[in-house]
Amino acid sequence: MKAQPAAQHRLLDLQATDTAIAQLDHRRATLPETATARALQADRAKAAERVIAADTVASDADLELTKAEQDLVPVRERLARNEARVADGTMTDPKALQSMLEEITHLKRRISELEDGQLEAMERAEAAREKANQVQADKTEIESRMRAVLAERETKLADIAAERKVLEREHDVVAAGIPAELLALYARIAEKAGVGAALLQHGRCGGCQLEANTSDMNRYRAAAADEVLRCEECGRILVRTAESGL
């Protein structure tokens, strides 16, 4: 293949632009914020499970407290009625009065037991609600961190996209000055090897970094300036300059 030396030199500019684009793509694919967001997403899912579990415990504790409070109501009401009957002096039968007094004693003892149970239920309910509030706060904190990370990620992605557009325009401008046949060869090699053209510098291929042997160097020296050379080792287009050692 033949191509003017100036067109071959443009391949180095094109390769530099394409390398910069590839580096941007790598940056976009490996943003640390992406991995952090995934980790936070997993943390949020676990936190949501803890919130559900804690809310369930708190709800059960509230129901237990409500039942303890409800159990006290009829006992207190019965005690109040019995004490009122004793106090009004209408009970003249000694046996009936004695029985009533014994029941009052029993009711007071029962109320004391129920109040102890109510206090314990209240403490459990408060502890359960405090736990539920804490795990909810933890989940909220994770979500806040996640929003911040995602916002930072979007900012970086936008910056990368803007840089890439500039480089894409540069690519198009440089590519427009390269003959179609040479450009197609470059594109085929780049698609396969990542780098389509490299500088031959002091007898070394800038693509595979291998030194050309004496036979290859003699062939390179003998080639016309407009002949498109390929590295014998990696197949990339070799661009000759004053630094090539020819």
Helix (H, G, I), strand (E, B) or coil at 15: helix
Q: What is the pLDDT of residue 218?
A: 93
Region 223-230 average pLDDT: 96
**Which residues on neighbouring strands pair with residue 55, listed in sequence order?**
none
Q: How far apart are CA 124 and CA 114, in angstroms?
A: 15
- Rounded Cα distance between 9 and 200, Å, is 11
Q: Nearest-CA neighbor of 72 among 103, 117, 105, 106?
A: 117
Q: Looking at the domain covering 31-158, what would its CATH class be?
A: mainly alpha
Average pLDDT over residues 102-123: 97
Q: How many other CB atoms sit within 10 Å of the CB of residue 142? A: 19
Task: Answer for the pair 228, 1: CB distance below 8 angstroms, yes or no.
Answer: yes
C-alpha–C-alpha distance, residues 56 and 77, integer Å: 32
3-class state of residue 96 by DSSP:
helix
Give pLDDT tens digits for 155-193: 999 999 999 999 999 999 999 999 999 999 999 999 999
Rg value, the chain, Cα: 43
pTM for the structure as a whole: 0.75
For the chain, where do the domains classified as CATH 1.10.287.1700 start and end?
A: 31-158
pLDDT > 70 fraction of the chain, expressed in percent and rounded: 100
d(CA 231, CA 235): 5
pLDDT at 92: 85
